[in-house]
A = this chain, B = another copy of it.
Amino acid sequence: MSDADTPQRSIFFLSDRTGITAETLGATLLTQFDERSFRQSTLPFINTPEKARSALEYIEHTGRASGLQPIVFSTTVSEDVREILRDSSALFLDLFDTFVPKLERALETKSEHREGRAHGIADEATYRSRIDAMNYALTHDDGVGESGYDQAQVILVAPSRCGKTPVCIYLAMQHGVYAANYPLTDEDLEGTGLPRALKPYRDKLYGLWIDPERLHHIRSERRRGSSYAALPQVSYELRQAEGLYKRHGLPYAETTNKSIEEIATLIMQDKDIRRRSF
């Protein structure tokens, strides 16, 4: 955090709908600069000239207050709204302004100026499939309801607390992928065969692995001092799990320093799962 005395430059993510694309665009670009010096806000649903003028006023105000030119990352389809905001003394970077003319030339067609179709229910079937996939992930979390493995596109396999659940839910929410998971039990880890419930689904299995120190730390947050969290126990489980993955030729990913998004991307790449179209 910067000092209260140091003026911060205002960054706005502005959109006629949720602002999610503007945030993603802006946040990715700002990773290349020192983010601590920015004060970031989202201005969603700016979809009328009135709201645009009121947003403009607010943006100008922050610029005068800090003495620093504000920056606006915008994804606004309405030309009326953009025209008002272009008058701003802020640096106004609009996704459509920037790229649509190039796309129109390449596609030899005019764009449709349809408002805010991203992140809405533009395509009811695609949207429903994401919700269905999420309900699926929640119902088939931690091996509950194994009868549903038939429907799974991928089944994540790992010892407890290696990150199966968040990755499954992310795969469902972001990509509409049906992802189930199966926690390896002590009994599974003692044997050399695939757990019985998984045998019919070998091609869907994907293992997760994590550094033992990290898993020890994660489990200790839940149950400090327990044998479940103890480093020897954790190391044993991970060694056995890795043996199982290798013995049965299962693809697996090391998750220690990876985000949910990165792990999900790896899984989809390795298992050749196509992302839903947006």
Contact = CB atoms under 8 A, between A and B. Distances in A.
Contacts of A100: 29, 32
A50 interface: no
B261 A99 contact: no
Contact of A169 (B75, B173, B257): B173
A35 interface: yes
Given A118-B31, A173-B169, A261 B106 contact: no
A269 interface: yes
A217 to B, nearest CB: 11
B99 A275 contact: no
A88 B94 CA distance: 25
Interface of A: 9, 17-21, 23-25, 27-35, 40, 42, 44-45, 69, 71, 75, 77, 91, 93, 95-96, 98-100, 102-103, 106-107, 109, 111-114, 117-122, 127, 131, 134, 138, 141, 165-166, 169-170, 173-174, 257-262, 264-265, 269, 275, 277-278
B96 A29 contact: yes
Nearest to A31: B117
Contacts of A44: 265, 269
Given A45-B269, A91-B102, A32 B96 contact: yes
A95 to B, nearest CB: 7
Contacts of A23: 275, 278
- For this chain, the copies found in one complex come to 2
A262 to B, nearest CB: 6
Nearest to A170: B173
A21 B28 contact: yes
Interface centre among A24, A30, A106, A134 (most CB of B within 10 A): A24
A154 B19 CA distance: 20
Given A19-B265, A134-B169, A77 B120 contact: no
28 contacts: A20-B174, A23-B278, A24-B118, A25-B25, A27-B278, A29-B95, A29-B103, A31-B117, A31-B118, A32-B77, A32-B112, A33-B111, A34-B112, A45-B265, A45-B269, A69-B106, A93-B102, A93-B103, A98-B98, A98-B99, A119-B259, A119-B261, A127-B259, A131-B166, A131-B260, A138-B141, A169-B173, A173-B173
